[in-house]
């Protein structure tokens, strides 16, 4: 079932579900709408299904049921060209940055350009324009002076900033950040999330960010999706995340109710 809404939207998931090859159902049928320019935080305990939902949004995890619909380009599961286009326009930020340590910061950022180059163009050296673009995104994350330093010589927080720059060089319209600050100390984590938040707001970028930390979710999210055991148990603005919702979010297996459809009426968001 496709959620209906009168607001403009960017992504909808329609009864999206994921069962891994070992038979474990990590996401029960979930229908969500993601709106342009919003920062949507996926919150939940370890194993709740945050990464599964987030990664299924760009096909890194293959949905076993349901569908993703993109308002601008279509249905990526039905057409490989749409999937390629969607991935090209989607920046990904990972918990462990996935940088190549022996390469310079600049070279790592330029790797983000591979997604936007044709295959044959990837055989040629980077152009001056590519390099200037990489320096410009490094400047945005405050690391232009580290451009020629090896990536493994940077701190964890700096490496994550490079990860953000590498995503930005793709000129994405959607950012997916999978536990981007889980390996960082609280102060560094907050500064990285502040940077990500400010860039998304300046560029009117839509972001889906999975987080463990409730205080960060409340501070940086426009809207929170709470997951428990593969089911959406909360959907709303940060202020609405009260004690009841927290109990549902962090209920243990024996306390949690059997998963049902994750459908959440868009009206909840509009309210």
Interface residues toward ligand ATP, by CB under 6 A: 20, 22, 24, 26, 44, 46-52, 179, 210, 212
For ligand ATP, the closer CB: 29 or 266: 29
Q: How far is the CB of 203 from ligand ATP (least distance, A)?
A: 26
Tell the smallest beta-carbon distance from residue 214 to ligand ATP (Å): 13
Closer residue to ligand ATP in complex, CB, 50/173: 50
Tokens of 154: 């940077």
Residue with smaller CB distance to ligand ATP, 96 or 122: 96
Q: What's phi and psi for 77, nearest 5 deg?
A: -75, -15
In the complex, the smallest distance separating the C-beta of residue 140 from ligand ATP, rounded to whole angstroms, is 28
Residue closer to ligand ATP, measured from CB, 20 or 185: 20
- For 33-42, letters b (16+ CB in 10 Å) and e give bbbbebbbbb
Nearest distance from C-beta of residue 21 to ligand ATP, angstroms: 7
* CA nearest neighbour of 170 among 47, 233, 85, 232: 85
């Amino acid at each position: 079932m496709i959620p209906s809404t009168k607001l403009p939207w960017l992504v909808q998931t329609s009864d999206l579900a994921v069962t891994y090859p070992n038979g474990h159902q990590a996401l029960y049928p979930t229908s969500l709408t993601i709106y342009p320019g919003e920062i949507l935080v996926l919150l939940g305990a370890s194993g709740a299904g945050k990464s599964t939902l987030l990664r299924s949004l760009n096909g890194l995890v293959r949905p076993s049921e349901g569908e993703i619909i993109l308002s601008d380009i279509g249905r990526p599961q039905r057409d490989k060209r749409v999937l390629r286009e969607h991935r090209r326009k989607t920046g990904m930020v990972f918990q462990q940055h996935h940088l190549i340590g022996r390469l310079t910061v600049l070279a790592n950022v330029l790797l983000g350009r591979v997604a936007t180059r044709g295959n044959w163009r990837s055989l040629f050296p980077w152009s001056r324009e590519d390099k200037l673009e990489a320096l410009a995104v490094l400047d945005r994350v405050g690391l232009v002076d580290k451009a020629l330093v090896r990536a493994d010589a940077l701190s964890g927080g700096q490496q994550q900033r490079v990860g953000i720059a590498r995503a930005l060089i793709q000129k994405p319209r959607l950012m997916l950040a999978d536990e981007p600050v889980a390996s960082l100390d609280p102060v560094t984590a907050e500064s990285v999330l502040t940077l990500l938040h400010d860039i998304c707001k300046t560029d009117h970028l839509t972001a889906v960010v999975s987080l463990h930390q409730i205080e960060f979710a409340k501070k940086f999210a426009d809207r929170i999706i709470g997951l428990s055991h593969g089911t959406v148990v909360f959907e709303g603005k940060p202020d609405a995340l009260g004690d009841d919702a927290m109990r549902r979010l962090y209920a243990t297996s024996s306390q949690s109710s059997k998963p049902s459809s994750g459908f959440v009426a868009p009206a909840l968001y509009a309210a």
